[in-house]
C-alpha cells in the first residue's frame, strides 16, 4: 500500500508539473501573440500617421509654385541664411513683403516670378545692383526699383546673401531652420553687418562730430543716419528728398516739419500710412515702422533726430553717411 501511495503521489506530481508546463507554454504563446499584435497595431498607427502627414503636407503645400521652373541646390548655410533674411527684411521687404511674395502695385512676387527663378545668381546680383527704372518696358508695376534696393551701402557679399535667401524662399527645402525673428535679433544681425563709423583724429567717431545740433544728441543723430540707410532709403532716397511715386520728400515735408511733437511722429511711424488714407498722395503703402520690426521706439526717435538735423541743413544734406574706408 505504501508503494501504491508513493506511486500515486509521483503520478500526481508529474501531472501537476506537466500541467504547469502546458500553462507556461500557453501563457508564453499568448504573450508572444499579444506582442506581435501590439507591434502590428503600432506599425499600422505609424503607417497611418505617416500617410496622414503626407496627405496633409500635400494639401497644405504651396500649389501656386506647381509647374514653375525648379530652383535646385543645396540647403543654405544657416549663417548666410540668417544674414540674408535680415538684409532682405531691412532692404527688400517694404516692396516685396517679408515672405517675398510681393506687394500689390509696388514690388513683384520674387518667389513665383519665372524671371527671378531662372536668372543665374550672378545675373540676379547684377540686376539688384542696377535696379529697374519705371520706364523699362519689363517694369509692369510702374514703380522704379532703385539700384541696390535703394541702399548704396550694400556690399557685394550682402547682395549675395540676399540672392541666396531669395533662392531658399523659392525652394523651401533649401531653407534651414532659422532663429525666430524678433526685433532685437534682427537688429543685432543688421548691426553686425554694418561697417564701423570712421574715427576722427581725436579718436572719437567722425560721424558723431559731423552731426552737431543744439536740440538732439550727436550720437542719436549718427545712429539715426545708420538706421535710415537700413530702413528708409529705398523709398525716400539717399538724400531723404523722396523717390518719385514711392516715398515723399522728408526734408521739405511740411507734415513732418509741422509735427513738432516727436512722440506724435513716433506714433505715426509706428502705425504707417495705408493707401486708403486720403493724405497718402503716392498711393503706396507706408508700412508700420518702415517695414523694419527692428525699429523700436528708441530707434525711431534716433531716425527722427536724424531727420530733424537734415531739415536744419542749408539746402539739405546727403544721407548715406560715410561709414569707414
**306 within 8 A of 230, measured Cβ to Cβ:** no
pTM of the model: 0.65
User: Which class is domain 204-311?
Assistant: mainly alpha
Task: Confirm whether 78-184 and 204-311 share one CATH topology.
Answer: yes
Domain residue ranges in the chain: 78-184, 204-311
* The predicted structure's pLDDT at residue 302: 94
Q: What is the mean pLDDT of residues 156-175?
A: 95
Report whether pLDDT(39) > 80.
no
Which residue did the predictor score with more confidence, 2 or 134?
Answer: 134
pLDDT at 8: 53
Instruction: Residue 196: name the closest of 228, 153, 233 by CA.
Output: 153
Return the biggest CA–CA distance within the chain.
134
- CB-based contact 207:321 (threshold 8 Å): yes
78-184 CATH pick, 1.10.760.10, 1.10.3720.10, 1.10.443.10, 3.30.70.330 = 1.10.760.10
189: exposed, middle or buried (Cβ count in 10 Å: 0-12, 13-18, 19+): buried
pLDDT of residue 170: 96
CB 196 within 8 A of CB 188: no
The dihedral through the CA atoms of 155, 156, 157, 160 has a sign that is positive
Q: What is the pLDDT of residue 323?
A: 37
pLDDT category at 35 given cuts 50, 70, 90 is low
Q: What is the pLDDT of residue 60?
A: 47
Any bridge partners for residue 247, and if so which? 243
Q: 264-297 burial by CB neighbour count: b if 16+ within 10 A, else e?
A: ebbeebeeebeeeeeeeebebbbbebbbbbbbee
Residue 196 DSSP one-character state: P
Q: What is the rounded CA–CA span in Å between residue 173 and residue 163?
A: 16
Mean pLDDT within 71-90: 92
Rounded Cα distance between 28 and 254, Å, is 90
Phi, psi (deg, nearest 5) at residue 295? -85, 90
The answer to whether residue 80 scores a pLDDT higher than 90 is yes
Checking if the pLDDT of 200 tops 80, the result is no
What does the pLDDT look like over 12-33, one tens digit per residue? 656 566 566 566 666 667 676 7
% of the chain residues with pLDDT over 70: 73
- Quick: pLDDT tens for 107-164: 899 999 999 999 999 999 999 999 998 889 988 888 888 888 888 878 999 999 999 9
Summarised one tens digit per residue, pLDDT across range 240-276 is 888 877 888 999 988 899 998 999 999 999 998 888 8
Q: What is the pLDDT of residue 289?
A: 87
Amino acid at each position: 500500500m505504501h508503494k501504491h501511495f508513493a506511486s500515486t503521489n509521483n503520478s500526481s506530481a508529474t501531472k501537476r508539473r506537466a500541467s504547469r508546463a502546458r500553462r507556461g507554454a500557453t501563457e508564453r504563446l499568448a504573450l508572444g501573440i499579444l506582442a506581435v499584435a501590439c507591434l502590428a497595431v503600432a506599425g499600422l498607427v505609424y503607417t497611418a500617421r505617416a500617410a496622414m502627414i503626407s496627405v496633409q503636407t500635400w494639401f497644405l503645400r504651396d500649389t501656386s509654385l506647381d509647374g514653375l521652373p525648379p530652383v535646385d541646390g543645396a540647403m543654405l548655410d544657416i549663417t548666410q541664411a540668417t544674414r540674408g533674411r535680415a538684409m532682405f527684411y531691412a532692404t527688400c521687404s517694404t516692396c516685396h513683403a517679408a515672405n517675398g511674395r510681393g506687394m500689390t502695385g509696388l514690388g513683384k512676387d520674387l518667389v513665383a516670378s519665372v524671371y527671378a527663378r531662372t536668372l543665374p545668381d550672378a545675373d540676379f546680383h547684377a540686376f539688384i545692383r542696377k535696379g529697374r527704372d519705371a520706364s523699362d518696358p519689363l517694369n509692369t508695376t510702374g514703380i522704379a526699383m532703385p539700384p541696390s534696393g535703394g541702399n548704396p551701402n550694400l556690399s557685394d557679399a550682402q547682395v549675395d546673401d540676399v540672392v541666396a535667401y531669395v533662392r531658399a524662399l523659392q525652394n523651401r527645402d533649401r531653407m534651414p531652420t532659422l532663429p525666430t525673428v524678433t526685433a532685437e535679433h534682427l537688429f543685432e544681425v543688421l548691426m553686425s553687418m554694418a561697417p564701423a563709423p570712421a574715427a576722427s583724429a581725436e579718436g572719437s567717431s567722425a560721424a558723431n562730430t559731423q552731426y552737431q545740433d543744439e536740440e538732439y544728441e550727436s550720437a542719436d543723430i549718427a545712429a539715426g543716419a545708420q538706421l535710415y540707410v537700413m530702413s528708409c532709403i529705398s523709398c525716400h532716397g539717399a538724400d531723404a528728398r523722396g523717390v518719385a511715386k514711392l516715398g515723399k520728400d522728408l526734408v521739405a515735408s511740411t507734415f513732418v516739419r509741422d509735427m513738432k511733437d516727436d512722440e506724435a511722429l513716433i506714433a505715426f511711424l509706428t502705425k504707417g500710412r495705408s493707401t486708403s488714407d486720403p493724405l497718402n498722395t503716392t498711393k503706396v503703402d507706408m508700412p508700420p515702422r518702415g517695414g523694419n520690426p527692428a525699429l523700436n521706439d528708441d530707434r525711431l526717435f534716433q531716425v527722427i533726430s536724424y531727420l530733424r538735423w537734415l531739415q536744419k541743413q542749408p539746402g539739405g544734406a546727403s544721407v548715406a553717411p560715410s561709414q569707414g574706408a
